[in-house]
Amino acid sequence: MNWNTLFFDSSNSFVELGAGLDIVRSRGLEAKLYNFPLCTVPEAYRELAPATISDWKKTYLEECNGCAIKEHCGGFFEWHPKNHGYKR
């Protein structure tokens, strides 16, 4: 119901997230990106995005077929709205 208000499309802009991660890591703290499809994260930060969605609630989109990094990607929650989401 509140998808448009709460969802932040990190595939469109990673500037703020990347800056936040850089600050946290520069202070010696561990940072992880939970539940981020890998292709929505710039390559330099992908090591911080483990596949964290459990198998029973994980799904992939049609566009994921043939993806070279699928085995490392956590995909999407089963209930991820198919008509909303990441632009890139």
Tell me how far, at minimum, the Cβ of 43 lies from ligand SF4, in Å.
Answer: 11
68: which DSSP letter?
T
Phi, psi (degrees; rounded to nearest 5) at 61: -95, 165
Give the range of 1-9, 11-19, 21-29, 56-64 binding ligand SF4 by CB under 6 A: 56-64
Q: CB-side exposure of 26: number of CA atoms within 13 Å?
A: 6
Output 28 or 66, the one with its CB closest to ligand SF4.
Answer: 66
Among 64, 77, 78, 82, binds ligand SF4 (CB under 6 A): 64
38 binds ligand SF4 (CB under 6 A): yes
What are residue 77's DSSP bridge partners? 58
C-alpha distances in angstroms, 46 versus 38, 74, 83?
6, 11, 25
Give the range of 9-17, 19-27, 31-39, 77-85 binding ligand SF4 by CB under 6 A: 31-39
For residues 58 and 77, the answer to whether their CB atoms sit within 8 Å is yes
Residues forming contacts to ligand SF4 in the complex (CB under 6 A) are 37-39, 60, 63-64, 67, 69-70, 73, 75
